[in-house]
Amino acid sequence: MPKRWGKERLKDFFYRMAKSRGYRSRAAFKLIEMNEKFKLFKEGSVVVDLGAYPGGWSQVALNVVGERGLVVAVDVRDIKSLGVPNLIVLKGDICDEEVHGEVLRTLPRKADAVISDAAPKLSGVWSTDLARQALLIECSLRLAHKALRVGGNMVVKAFQGEGLDDVLRLLRKSFSVVKLYRPKASKKASREIYIVCLNFKGIEA
């Protein structure tokens, strides 16, 4: 790790907070803020966490849903166990229909929330990265159509730029409320933004 990058991380308030509280990533605070504001899930909820590596969002979800709830975490990378019985980790591509089927077989009932902090490996070509991120959102929505209960909620990471309006139009076909939100823990230089989708209509886009 370059020394300069390491020093910048040490100066990062949310990075230090994550380390002190035992969260695996600073992104945990993004979900904490959004769940407090929008009530995406609560104690006893069933939550599907897409693009879950390294597990920061799953940690937050587990803290909220408690022992009566369940979190199903999905990522192409290996997620280290958190040592709790109500976290199920599945390895696979969130755009793979077979992985969708595995998620559905794992759920005891329809999910109350689908959360996705998934992002592509950045190519450095912004138009390409925007398209890849839009695809991940579409894959998350496809799974939500099958896994999410009517009235359930979803939050997905997006990038600001060309095509975002098209993504918002697509999501509004399936959710009553669709809002853009930028958490305080998002880095100032980042073009990420989150799309908060509330009250799933139960109809496909």
Q: What are the residue boundaries of the structural domains of the chain, listed by start?
A: 25-200
pLDDT computed for residue 188 by the predictor? 81
CATH 2.40.128.110 is the classification of domain 25-200: no
User: At residue 91, what are phi and psi to the nearest 5 degrees?
Assistant: -100, 125
- Active-site entry in 19, 42, 80, 157: 157
Buried b (16+ CB within 10 A) or exposed e, 132-146: bbbebbbbbbbbbbe
The 3-state DSSP class for residue 198 equals strand
pLDDT computed for residue 5 by the predictor? 46
User: Catalytic annotation on 157?
Assistant: yes
**Alpha-carbon distance values, 191 to 96, 159, 176, 182 (Å):** 27, 6, 25, 10
pLDDT under 50: residue ranges of the chain: 1, 5, 7, 10, 205
Cα(123)–Cα(129) distance, integer angstroms: 6
pTM of structure: 0.90
160, amino acid identity: Q
User: Taking a C-beta distance cutoff of 8 angstroms, is the pair 199, 176 a contact?
Assistant: yes
Buried b (16+ CB within 10 A) or exposed e, 179-203: eeeebebbeeeeebbbbbbbebeee
pLDDT computed for residue 20 by the predictor? 61
Sign of CA dihedral 203, 48, 86, 78: positive
pLDDT computed for residue 13 by the predictor? 72
